[in-house]
Amino acid sequence: MKRIPVAYLTVLFAALVGTTPARADSDARDLLERMSMAARTLNYSGTFVYQHQGQLDAMRIIHSGESGGERERLMSLTGPKREILRDNQVVTCILGDSESVYVNRSRPRSPFPASFPKSLAGLEQLYSFRLGSEDRVAGLMCRMIEIRPRDTYRYGRRLCVHGDSYMMLRSELTDFQSDTIEQMMFTSVNFPEHISEKELLPDLSGADYTWKLEPEVAQAEPGSDENDTRWEVIQVPEGFVLTDHNWHQLSAHDPGVEHWVYSDGLASVSVYIEKAPREHGSYQGVTHRGALNAYGTMIEGHYVTVVGEVPMKTVELIGNSVQIR
């Protein structure tokens, strides 16, 4: 949106200068919270495209928000044939190209197709929220919302939310300069009253595939930073707090992988620490895929890997602050 000079506003609209931005913020937050609830409770099915790193992928989604709890089926329409099934307890990934099935413990998740908490309280210190103009996506009118980070340690977002259902129809992840990094957009979507059991079952049976179950996890208390760990993370950007801490073990004799999760309420970063074999090569550097950045380093014979949908400087800052107590 074109910015109106402050001096002009001061002379002609002095009474509105202090109230209009605040009301816009409030309206934007209200619309986002309605969107977050709608994505969890609505029945919907549709096709969307995902654009990242110069690549365009198409997928179909079927989501049920009925009384039995959320259930979801996601199918690839381009590239290798893959399906993902999700409910309140388990996430099952069926990979047709590698003839394998991965079954993971379902964790609390944000609404598809972007991450948003149920409440936006407390995020105002980290992000600004602004309502934009109307647009049209998948044949439906929607309202633009811009979420801008207040520092360079997190990404922003531009969303278009359907005015009737409050469903998010388009999502763009943006950098600090508001340039688009990646985007998702529905090309068609509908909201049936009922989703049948058959629609939530996979086309790929996986019966003859290799099945891989998620390793056992030793769960620590939420938000705790002790729990017999030798490690600590000294520095994270303002607003990021520890939300999860656990250990993944392949067997009773395996030292396992220690896993930390930090979140600012919208963005999240994972820290993985595992013992390196006696003979190991170099483990230092950065990599990225679209908006996902990763930083790896070696500390006292352990691999430390930091991964998140945040700017590279964020994962580097956190990775360089990991140390033994």
pLDDT score recorded for residue 61:
95
pLDDT score recorded for residue 43:
95
- Look at residues 171, 200, 229 and tell me which one is the last residue of a structural domain: 200
Closest CA to 68 of 203, 201, 196: 196
The residues pairing with 168 across neighbouring beta strands, listed in sequence order, are: 161
Average pLDDT over residues 32-49: 92
If asked whether residues 129 and 171 sit together in one domain, one would say yes
**For 129-180, how does the pLDDT look when each residue is reduced to its tens digit (9 = 90+)?**
999 999 999 999 999 999 999 999 999 999 999 999 999 999 999 999 999 9
Amino acid at residue number 117: P
Domain that holds residue 189: 8-200
Higher-pLDDT residue of 103, 115: 103
**SS3 assignment, position 23:** helix
Tell whether 209 is covered by a domain: no
If asked whether residues 181 and 267 sit together in one domain, one would say no
Tell whether 311 is covered by a domain: yes
- Look at residues 165, 200, 235 and tell me which one is the last residue of a structural domain: 200
Tell whether 190 is covered by a domain: yes
If asked whether residues 135 and 76 sit together in one domain, one would say yes
Distances (CA, A) of 109 to 23, 130, 140: 29, 25, 26
CATH number for the domain that contains residue 194: 2.50.20.10
**SS3 assignment, position 8:** helix
Find where tokens 């520890």 sit. Answer: 242
If asked whether residues 95 and 179 sit together in one domain, one would say yes
**For 201-216, how does the pLDDT look when each residue is reduced to its tens digit (9 = 90+)?**
988 777 778 877 765 5
**For 54-109, how does the pLDDT look when each residue is reduced to its tens digit (9 = 90+)?**
889 999 999 999 877 889 999 999 999 999 999 888 888 998 888 888 887 655 55
If asked whether residues 71 and 181 sit together in one domain, one would say yes
CA dist 305 and 232 (Å) reads 14
If asked whether residues 144 and 24 sit together in one domain, one would say yes
Tell whether 228 is covered by a domain: yes
If asked whether residues 224 and 317 sit together in one domain, one would say yes
Distances (CA, A) of 277 to 185, 300, 302, 316, 320: 44, 12, 9, 23, 21
**SS3 assignment, position 20:** helix
CATH number for the domain that contains residue 225: 3.30.200.100
Sign of CA dihedral 145, 148, 19, 30: positive
CA dist 86 and 65 (Å) reads 12
**216, 253 Cβ separation under 8 angstroms:** no
**73, 62 Cβ separation under 8 angstroms:** yes
Closest CA to 286 of 266, 308, 258: 308
Average pLDDT over residues 294-309: 93
If asked whether residues 52 and 180 sit together in one domain, one would say yes
Question: The whole model's pTM is what?
Answer: 0.79
Tell whether 166 is covered by a domain: yes
Tell whether 206 is covered by a domain: no
Tell whether 125 is covered by a domain: yes
**167, 61 Cβ separation under 8 angstroms:** no
User: What is the tally of structural domains in the chain?
Assistant: 2
**SS3 assignment, position 17:** helix
The residues pairing with 76 across neighbouring beta strands, listed in sequence order, are: 59
Tell whether 59 is covered by a domain: yes
**For 181-190, how does the pLDDT look when each residue is reduced to its tens digit (9 = 90+)?**
999 999 999 9
If asked whether residues 12 and 156 sit together in one domain, one would say yes
pLDDT score recorded for residue 222:
43
CA dist 146 and 21 (Å) reads 13
CA 42 from chain center: how many Å? 19
If asked whether residues 241 and 305 sit together in one domain, one would say yes
Amino acid at residue number 313: K
If asked whether residues 50 and 144 sit together in one domain, one would say yes
- Look at residues 174, 200, 226 and tell me which one is the last residue of a structural domain: 200
pLDDT score recorded for residue 282:
67
Residues contacting 233, CB < 8 A, separation 6+: 225, 242, 260, 262, 271, 318, 321, 322
201-212 in b/e burial notation, b at 16+ Cβ within 10 A? Answer: eeeeebeebeee
Q: Which two tokens stand for residue 58?
A: 């198409």
If asked whether residues 50 and 98 sit together in one domain, one would say yes
